[in-house]
């Protein structure tokens, strides 16, 4: 069967894809706001909550690989519908869980699987297949910026729902909201996948995986993405409690998370646009180094609402700005036939980092009464990630010839 012509318009792909990512990423971004209400109401430790979110990130990474494979094989439409249903079930389960185990299974495993089917790997697969390579990095930046806008939008919304309805009712309300992903998925239904068929490819899944994992630049991208996950999820989940421990109002944390989301809109769009004009490895190296510097300065200067807002704004610019250049590099090296799957593997590395960041934050806090050690680890990892991205080679792989790094 020959490949179907590309018939989805760039506007349709970006509007629907951006709306999906806005809902899926926006909803999860404010989970840190639930840490204290949930643990206080249930009598659990912070490590219990942090472990569930850590499992969520790991589950997202594991299921992301298979969601990517399914999206490459059957199209994003079906994967998005399943992901939306899982999202609703996971949020409802999170609200009703009465033990640490059921909380971990719902807030952790179920929501992780849901996010795998409704976020970047699946949506970027559609962008890669439907949008011309000359605009691909820019389009990925637009989609990432939409996710960032969702984070900016949803943090105050979720804070308002928690204060107005209570944490359980707020989660049940969100369980209904995420079902809006289902009608949006219709706009990402690709004609090349009608009837469960996929376009013909020159490589099998096994061949594509062997090629990628033998390619040093792919391994370096994965190493850098591990650091990205560690830093952003540690900060996103633990910073509200860190600030409250230091005597700052919970509203400062809410505003900080919202500022991260707002400035992330600009950061991701700028990174995606720059990826069309300059070496993406240099963009990535700069982002990781700048994060390390920002965290170090934040820890050195006296803590105040102003210092928190400045830090949140700077980190927002650097937050998910790694996403467009990383995914565009994968597409540039290996092509788009298995983009969702390969993007899923790179993202799995990100989620292992996320697991370590959020879990280590809770673990070390419960044992030392401080987050300081984890902040220092985040700085060191930022320097490491900057260095490992510099040797990445972005040129398309030459198949049928010896493959260099």
* pLDDT of 7: 66
What are the φ/ψ torsions at residue 214 (nearest 5 degrees)? Answer: -90, -5
Cβ atoms of 254 and 241 within 8 Å: the answer is: no
**Sign of CA pseudo-dihedral 158, 344, 93, 45:** negative
Alpha carbon distance 61, 50 (integer Å) = 17
How distant, in Å, are the alpha carbons of 41, 49, 93, 364, 388 from that of 368? 23, 17, 32, 6, 31
User: Rounded to an integer, what distance in angstroms lies between the CA atom of residue 315 and that of residue 294?
Assistant: 7
Per-residue pLDDT at 223: 96
> Which residues are within 8 A (CB) of 131 and not within 5 positions of it... i.e. 6 or more apart?
10, 13, 139
Residue 112 three-state SS: helix
DSSP state of 97: -
**CATH class in words for 10-191+203-389:** mainly alpha
Question: Do the Cβ atoms of 230 and 398 come closer than 8 Å?
Answer: no
Q: How far apart are CA 275 and CA 269, in angstroms?
A: 10
Residue whose token pair is 């809902």: 23
Burial readout 335-365 (b: 16 or more C-beta within 10 A, e: otherwise): bbbbbbbbbbbbbbbbbbbbbbbbbbbbbbb
**Whether the predicted model's global pTM rises above the 0.75 cut:** yes
Q: How far apart are CA 72 and CA 190, in angstroms?
A: 11
> Could you list the mean pLDDT of each consecutive 10-residue stretch along the chain, which spans 405 residues?
60 91 86 87 88 88 90 90 97 94 96 93 87 87 81 82 92 95 93 60 85 94 95 90 88 87 90 91 97 97 96 94 91 86 90 89 89 95 97 85 45
Encoded tokens for 341:
């799957």
Of the candidates 335, 312, 10, the one whose C-alpha atom is nearest the C-alpha of residue 140 is: 10
DSSP letter string, 325-386: HHHHHHHHHH-STTHHHHHHHHHHHHHHHHHHHHHHHHHHHHHHS-SHHHHHHHHHHHHHHH
Polymer length in residues for the chain: 405
pLDDT at 46: 82
For 152-214, the DSSP string reads HHHHHHHHHHHHHH-HHHHHHHHHHHGGGHHHHHGGG--GGGGGG-----SS-HHHHHHHHHT
Instruction: Give the closest residue to 403 by CA, choosing from 178, 140, 213.
Output: 213
Q: Of 51, 251, 225, nearest to 156 (Cα)?
A: 251
What is the distance between the alpha carbons of residues 286 and 386, in angstroms, rounded to a whole number? 7
Residue 39 neighbours by CB distance under 10 Å: 17
Burial of 172 (0-12, 13-18, 19+ CB in 10 A): middle
What is the distance between the alpha carbons of residues 257 and 252, in angstroms, rounded to a whole number? Answer: 9
Please tell me the predicted confidence (pLDDT) of residue 400. 63
């Amino acid at each position: 069967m020959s490949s179907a012509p590309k018939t989805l318009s760039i506007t349709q792909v970006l509007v629907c894809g951006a709306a999906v990512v806005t809902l899926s990423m926006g909803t999860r971004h404010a989970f840190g706001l639930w840490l204290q209400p949930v643990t206080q109401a249930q009598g659990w430790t912070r490590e219990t909550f942090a472990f569930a979110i850590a499992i969520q990130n790991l589950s997202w990474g594991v299921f992301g690989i298979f969601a990517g494979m399914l999206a490459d094989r059957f199209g994003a439409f079906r994967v998005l519908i399943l992901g939306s249903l899982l999202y609703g079930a996971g949020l409802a389960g999170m609200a009703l869980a009465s033990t640490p185990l059921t909380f971990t299974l719902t807030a952790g495993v179920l929501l992780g699987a849901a996010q795998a089917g409704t976020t970047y790997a699946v949506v970027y697969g559609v962008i890669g297949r439907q949008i011309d390579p000359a605009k691909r990095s820019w389009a990925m930046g637009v989609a990432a910026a939409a996710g960032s806008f969702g984070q900016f939008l949803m943090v105050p919304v979720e804070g308002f729902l928690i204060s107005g309805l209570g944490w359980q009712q707020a989660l049940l309300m969100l369980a209904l909201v995420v079902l809006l992903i289902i009608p949006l998925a219709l706009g990402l239904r690709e004609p090349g996948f009608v009837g469960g068929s996929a376009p013909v490819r020159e490589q099998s899944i096994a061949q594509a995986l062997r090629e990628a994992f033998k390619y040093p630049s792919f391994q370096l991208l994965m190493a850098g993405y591990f650091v990205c996950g560690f830093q952003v999820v540690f900060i996103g989940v633990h910073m509200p409690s860190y600030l409250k421990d230091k005597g700052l109002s919970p509203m400062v944390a809410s505003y900080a998370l919202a500022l991260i989301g707002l400035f992330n809109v600009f950061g991701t769009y700028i990174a995606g646009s720059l990826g069309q004009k300059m070496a993406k490895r240099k963009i990535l190296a700069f982002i990781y180094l700048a994060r390390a510097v920002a965290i170090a300065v934040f820890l050195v200067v006296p803590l105040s609402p102003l210092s928190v807002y400045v830090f949140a704004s700077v980190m927002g610019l650097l937050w998910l700005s790694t996403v467009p250049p990383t995914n565009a590099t994968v597409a540039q090296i290996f092509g788009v036939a298995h983009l969702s799957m390969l993007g899923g593997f790179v993202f799995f590395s990100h989620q292992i980092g996320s697991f370590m960041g959020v879990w280590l934050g809770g673990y070390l806090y419960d044992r030392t009464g401080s987050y300081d050690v984890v902040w220092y680890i985040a700085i060191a990892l930022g320097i490491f990630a900057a260095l490992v991205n510099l040797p990445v080679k972005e040129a398309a792989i030459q198949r049928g010839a010896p493959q260099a790094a």
